[in-house]
Amino acid sequence: MKKILSILLMALAAAGMTACGTEGEPSPEAEQQPSSQQTAAEDPQPSESGPQSRYLVVYFSYAENADLPEDADVEASASIQRWNGTLTGNTGVVAQMIAETAGAEVFPLHTVELYPDTYEATIDQGEQERANGARPELQAVPENLEDYDVIFLGYPNWWGDLPMAVYSFLDEVDLSGKTIAPFVTSGGSGLSGTPDTIAALEPGAEVREGLAVRNTNAADAQESVEVWLTDLGYLG
């Protein structure tokens, strides 16, 4: 039922959509807007900021799911970042900021099949996946979601929509009774209605106001993260 609903939602969103970038969008802009490899056997990773909480950050990041060398040049691409020496993308950086600030645990979504090693090729593949209603297979989803009340769900904006790997995640889990706080990285298209898509796929959950961060400002998003978390009542 969820898959049928998500296909209908994608069809409604398809008209007029352009590639709203991800972690390396072609036209990143300059402002943040509050508006929102682990294996199959691993559990969510505790943040370094404090004890485990009822908060979980689940995110999908291009650079963690692409066929990139570990020594990839982060200066050469707007889509690639490092966090504490680990290769990630803009969404991954913001996810870690949220986790450390809120005292949340972290669960990155990793696909079984890697995406190409260039952003342009990945965007093309993402467009084809969207057109086909594909559901990329995930290595794992959190097995202990009952331990969490709030799910911070992060993703890049691909073609004005969720990446299809995030659809895979939402198809596989039931977040009824939980609060979902979405956050997105983009080149300027922001959330693009993705919170409404999430709400339709998870009708038993409460979807809060999301955080949109422009790609070029991901590394400097700490203040925006703190303001957003405070406004939602999860900080201070």
pLDDT at 35 over 50: no
| Per-residue pLDDT, 120 | 83
Q: What is the mean pLDDT of residues 159-185?
A: 97
Confidence of residue 122 (pLDDT cuts 50, 70, 90): confident
Q: What is the mean pLDDT of residues 78-94?
A: 75
Which one-letter amino acid corresponds to residue 109? Answer: L
| Per-residue pLDDT, 80 | 62
* pTM of structure: 0.80
User: Per-residue DSSP letters for 173-217?
Assistant: ---TT-EEEEEEEESS-TTTTHHHHHHHH-TTSEEPPPEEEEGGG
Q: What is the mean pLDDT of residues 42-70?
A: 73
pLDDT at 11 over 70: no
| 82 vs 58, higher pLDDT | 58
CATH of domain 2-232: 3.40.50.360
| Per-residue pLDDT, 192 | 95
Out of 42-46, 94-98, 113-117, least confident range: 42-46
| Per-residue pLDDT, 42 | 52
CB under 8 Å to 52, separation ≥6 — which residues? 46, 105
CB 89 within 8 A of CB 81: yes
Out of 70-74, 108-112, 125-129, 203-207, least confident range: 70-74
- Indicate the pairing of strand 206-207 with strand 179-186: parallel
| 75 vs 181, higher pLDDT | 181
pLDDT at 205 over 70: yes
| 52 vs 23, higher pLDDT | 23
All structural domains of the chain with their residue ranges: 2-232
